[in-house]
Structures are given as C-alpha cells and as structure tokens.
Chain A
Amino acid sequence: MSWVNAVIQGILIGGLYALFACGLSLLFGVMNVINLAHGDLAVVAAYLALGAVAITHIPAVWAFLIVVPIFAVVGYVIQRTLFQAALNRSVLTTLLVTFGLSVVIENGLQQFLTANSHSIGIGSLVSDSLTIGSISIAYLDLAILVVAVVVLVGLQYFLSGTRSGRLIRAVADDREAAQIAGVNYRHVFGVAAGIAFGTVALAGIAFGMFSQFDPTIGTDQLLLFAFEAVVIGGLGSLWGTLGGGILLGVAQQIGANISPADQVLAGQVLFLLILVVRPQGITGRGRGVAA
C-alpha cells in the first residue's frame, strides 16, 4: 500500500511542479528566453503574499488575488524593458540577464528580509486531509493539483481560442512573418511574459503554503524541478508539462519510499533517462507553443 500511496502523493506534488513549469515553458516556447530567475520570482511572490496578508489581513488563501495581477503587470514591464533589450542583442544575452536578475533577487531578499525561512500560514488547512483506506490526501495538495489543472486548461483554451492566444502562437511560429502580417511582436511578448509571471506567482504562493521557503530556495530547488518537468514533458506542450510534473513527482515519491535520501535523486535519474531515451520529452514536438 505504501507504493500506491507514493504514486498518489507524487501525482499531487506533480501538480505544483507543473504549475512552476508552465511559465518557464511559455517563455521559452514563445520568445526563446530561458528564464533563470524563474524560481526566484516564485519566492518573491511568496514573500509578497506574506506581506499582502500582513497588511490587508485577508485570509492567506486569497493572497493570490493581489499578488498575481501585480506579477502579471511586472512581467509585462520587465519583458518590454529588460528582457526585450537583452533579446535585441542575442538570445545568449537573455541567459546572462536572467541569471543576473536571479542573483540580484536572491541577495536582495537576503539583505532586506534575512535568510530566515518563512511559510504562508493557512491555519489547519495545511494539515487537514481526507482519508481513503490507509491513504491520506491533504486538502492543500489536492487544491494545488486542481489549481494546476485549471490553470493549464485555461491557458490551453486561451492559446487556442482567443485572439491574443492566436497572436502568441503566430509570433512563436515566425516572429518576422508576424511582423509583416501587422503584429507588434514586442507587445505580444509582453502579454506572454505577463501570463508566465502570473503563473509563477501562483506557483510561488502555493509553494509558500505547502512548505517553508527562504531567499535561496528558488534556484536551489524550484528552478531545477521546473526545468526537469518541462524537459520530461516536452517543450511546447502544456499537457506534456502537466505530465512531466506528475512523472517527476511520482519518481521522487517512489525514490523517497525506497529511502528518504533518494527522493531528489530518483527525480534526476528519470530526468536523465528521458534525456537519453526521448530528448524531445514524452509529448514533445520539438518546438513551438501548444495549440
């Protein structure tokens, strides 16, 4: 029964990984930007949620209503300024710029908010669970998985069913062709980045409720897991991202079931196996945004 439990817990945590990964996947799929500050941005979102709760005294579960819109706007602005300036030079420059941003964020957080770890308090919700037989499913974990699925389905619908989504896919296909078709690709990039930042904020807040966080956890853990979920799932597919997150989560839980020390290792082994056996990922078409 412990194996079944491991798989179920893995699926649940996989939702969180998928939520982390979809913003990373979107930024890379649309504008070829590998955002090395992705994990740190999630941590910033978690801190911002703490601050929002402290100031407004709203219940912590509603903090995302404040933080996600702020992050979406910040994402648009950063894309139109910093990232676009880097893109105008070369794709390689974006790596340096996002790496620099990551360092600045981490050190800024340590400087001004100390290296102490925090958690977004949600009272008894963090430990409440429903029990089926000998398996217990935490409400919080279930809620995060549901949120992840809703976000991915919503994103899928947005990309395939709306005018803005169509423009994002067009720009991802062929930026220059989009320009001569009358599309301001810089604005479209900004919109895509706004969405990506919104999802990373959601993921950061979910993580902050789920676990302790500190200024360095963004690069130490979150970025790595998000990358692994994207690569396992296959770039350019939102369903792949969900599948990749879940596979990573299941592998980690199975590893942990063998020995607690093997949790992260099992995830890395799966990641490396996928790279060797199926480098385009389980659903990968290679390039482009999901349609």
Chain B
Amino acid sequence: MTGPAPGPLLEVRGLSVYHGQLQALREVSLEVPAGTVHAMIGANGAGKSTLLRTIAGLHRPAAGQILLDGTDLTGLRPEQRVAAGVVLVPEGRRLFPTLTVEENLLVGTTSARPGPWSVQAVYELFDWMGGRRDQRAAQLSGGEQQAVAIGRALVANPKVLLLDELSLGLAPVVVRRIYALLPRLLEAGMTVLLVEQDVSQALAVASLVHCLLEGRITLEGEPGTLTPVQIESAYFGANRRGANGAGRTGNGGSNGNGGTLAAGAPPATGATP
C-alpha cells in the first residue's frame, strides 16, 4: 500500500518494441491516472495489442520504461507484474480449455494481491457462473468465456486492468453487457487501459482516448472533445487539414505514408471492419 501517488498510476515512457525486423511500437509514451478508463483505438496492426502485451510483460521492449506508482516494472516477468498489480485480459480470451470455470478462476489467484475480489465475488458479479463452475471452459460460449477471462483477471485484484479487444467475435448485445461492468470495476478502485477496434464502444466508455497508428500515438483527447474528422485522420493517417480541435493531434498529419489506406472512408464505428 503506497500513499496517494502524485504522478499517474501507470506510466509508459518512450516504449519501442520490435517483432523481429518489424518495429511495432515507436517511442510510445502514456500516462494513466488512477481511477480512469483509457482507451486505445487504431486499425489492425497499429500496435495496440503489442502495447498491452508489453505492459503485461509478454514482450521485451527494445527501449523505454513501464512504471506503476513510480516503480519500474520493465525488468519484471509477467507473473511478477501480476503480483505488482498489472493484469491483462488477453485478446481471444485465452482460457485454459481443459480446466473448469472454477479452476480457471483459481489459477488467476496464484499471484493475487489482497483485495475485494475473490472467486466468490466473481460468482456474484456474473450470476450464471457459479452454477456452471464445474463445466470445462471449452464448453462455454464466446461471451461466457470472456466473462470468465475477466473474472480470472479480477481475482488477482489488479490496480491496473488491461483489456485487449473485449468485443472480438462477440454479438453487440454481449459486448454492451460486458462494457456495462466497467463502472463497477472503477467503483472498486480499479484503473482500466483498454484496446478496442470498435471505436464507438471505446468512445462511449473511456475518459481518455488515444489513437495508435503504425506504432505511434497520433491522437489523444477526451472523447467528447474529439471530432469524427480528427479521429478518422488519426485512425487512418489520412493527411487532412483542419484536424486540430480541442484534442491534441500528434504527428498523424505529417505521418501520411500510410494514409492511402481507405482515406476518405468513415472511421470504423459500430462494428469492426
């Protein structure tokens, strides 16, 4: 238990990550204050998932730092970051298919910090789950698996919850139901950094939105102050003028080399493209 932190809860400084020859992140910096929801939007391959996976410790950055409450996490292994309070809900759920629902949740408690969340608390959050605790995870529907994946992260009592593409492969109604949980997590004192291709969903829940394009942050601002044109420009890298509003545009304008991709098309709102 640290006292009230003067700085942001989670801070990313100048993070660069390579996948072999390909540079997936280019000196990305980010500050997430406690108690907020930050959303990363961006097209396929923009580096969103890489950013979350690097924060979780699954990729080793070539340069840069990741700090939690001012403590450097960069050298820690994934399980040590869980113990420090950073937990990822990965893309594609990644449950243990041969384990039961309850066993999946119990594995999540391995490096748990003390806190309000327990297997029982997760059963209370998702009222259907307790009755099916002995079913194998592989037998659940996509939405149910996503709920178990969130539960497996919650039981570790994270300070920062990283959510990677919650909506992937799920029906819109299921996605809305899952996102409706976010306020309850924030109430419980959690901070959320999420990645979402579904831009309208991200704008609806986030207190701050960042847009990634080709490994760089091209836009940062509060959802209410960003115009669709700005988002479109940052999302696709289209070199448009007039993209300076209340939000701070990064180098998205000058970085037009990828901008031929679907320039002029509306940003992907509603469904993933």
Chain A residues proximal to chain B, CB less than 8 Å = 163, 166-167, 169-170, 173-174, 176-185, 288-289, 291
Structural contact, B99 and A170, CB atoms closer than 8 A: yes
- The segment from B18-26, B90-98, B118-126, B233-241 that touches chain A is B90-98
- A182 partner, pick from B97, B98, B99, B156, beta carbons under 8 A: B156
22 interchain pairs, CB-CB under 8 A: A163-B106, A166-B99, A166-B107, A170-B96, A170-B103, A170-B107, A173-B98, A177-B96, A178-B107, A179-B79, A180-B58, A180-B94, A181-B108, A181-B110, A181-B153, A182-B83, A182-B109, A182-B110, A182-B112, A183-B79, A184-B79, A291-B99
List of A residues within 8 angstroms of B109 by Cβ? 182
Chain B residues proximal to chain A, CB less than 8 Å = 56-58, 77-79, 82-83, 87-88, 90, 94-99, 103-104, 106-112, 152-153, 156
3 closest pairs, A vs B, by CB? A182-B111, A182-B82, A177-B94
List of A residues within 8 angstroms of B95 by Cβ? 174, 177
Bound state CA distance, A176 and B57, in angstroms? 10
CB distance from A266 to the nearest CB of B (A): 34
List of A residues within 8 angstroms of B156 by Cβ? 181-182
Structural contact, A173 and B96, CB atoms closer than 8 A: yes
Structural contact, B78 and A173, CB atoms closer than 8 A: no
CB distance from B162 to the nearest CB of A (A): 9
- B98 partner, pick from A167, A177, A184, A291, beta carbons under 8 A: A291
Bound state CA distance, A289 and B96, in angstroms? 12
Structural contact, B103 and A181, CB atoms closer than 8 A: no
CB distance from A99 to the nearest CB of B (A): 29
Structural contact, A180 and B106, CB atoms closer than 8 A: no
List of A residues within 8 angstroms of B103 by Cβ? 166, 169-170
List of A residues within 8 angstroms of B112 by Cβ? 182
- B96 partner, pick from A178, A182, A184, A185, beta carbons under 8 A: A178
List of A residues within 8 angstroms of B107 by Cβ? 166-167, 170, 178, 181-183
List of A residues within 8 angstroms of B97 by Cβ? 173-174
Bound state CA distance, A179 and B90, in angstroms? 11
List of A residues within 8 angstroms of B104 by Cβ? 170
Kindly list 15 other residue pairs between chains A and B, CB separation below 8 angstroms, not including A177-B95, A182-B108.
A166-B103, A166-B106, A173-B96, A173-B98, A174-B96, A174-B97, A178-B107, A179-B57, A180-B58, A180-B87, A180-B94, A181-B153, A182-B79, A182-B82, A291-B99
A166-B99, A166-B106, A170-B99 known; A181+B152 contact, CB < 8 A: yes
List of B residues within 8 angstroms of A170 by Cβ? 96, 99, 103-104, 107
- A179 partner, pick from B58, B96, B98, B106, beta carbons under 8 A: B58
